[in-house]
Amino acid sequence: MISEKIILGIDPGTAIMGFGIISVKKGKMEMVSIHELILKKYPNHETKLKYIFDRTLALIDEYHPDEVALEAPFFGKNVQSMLKLGRAQGVAMAASLYRNIPITEYSPKKIKMAITGNGNASKEQVAGMLQNLLNLKEFPTKYLDASDGLAVAVCHHFNSGTIANTKSFSGWESFLKQNPDRLK
């Protein structure tokens, strides 16, 4: 039995990308770190993607997570935004797989449901519940994207051992085996 597990949660974004890291020891969660990448200042999408990859690798190398959990892209009306968001998620996935860390995706509704019990909860409600669940006196960031990254990590902990509505990959081979239509 694993005595400690580190989980990196990622909320992909192209304006702000949130990261939350928790430690689970004997079933007890503790926040290790919370980060956000402010990507608005970068001149183009390609530069943002490189920075996402580099920063994700740096966090992996610093905190050595056992697992990575990501929020799946939200299916909105703007196709261009969806495409850019999918690329940001893909780059974060690639960084995790590059370090051979298993990844799992969760839908935004599943994350909100795991944290608050309401799949339509607001970002503020999610942050408030995280503050309570992790015994934080105050929330360590003003960006709700960072708290969303933390929510993904907590959701993953709550769902460890379950398979429903998640996709999990242990490496490129596993990803390709589960997604044969992505091969060209």
**45-103 tens-digit pLDDT:** 999 999 999 999 999 999 999 999 999 877 667 788 888 888 999 999 999 999 999 99
**Which two three-digit tokens encode residue 95?**
């960084």
- Round the average pLDDT of the chain to a whole number and report it: 87
Domain containing residue 77: CATH number:
3.30.420.10
* SS3 call for 36: strand
Residue 62, pLDDT score = 97
pLDDT at position 2, please?
60
Interior angle at CA 132, CA 129 and CA 136, nearest 5: 120
11 marked ligand binding residue: yes
Strand bridging mode 103-106 / 167-169 = antiparallel
Tell me what pLDDT residue 163 has: 45
Asked whether residue 61 is marked as a ligand-binding residue, the answer is no
For the chain, state the CA radius of gyration.
Answer: 15
Task: Indicate which residues carry an active-site annotation.
Answer: 11, 71, 145
How many domains would you assign to the chain? Answer: 1
Domain of 153, in residue numbers: 5-182
Q: Could you tell me the pTM of the whole model?
A: 0.84
Q: Express each pLDDT in 5-42 by its tens digit.
A: 999 999 998 899 999 999 999 889 999 999 999 999 99
**71 marked as part of a ligand binding site:** yes
Euclidean distance between CA atoms 169 and 175, whole angstroms = 5
DSSP 29: E
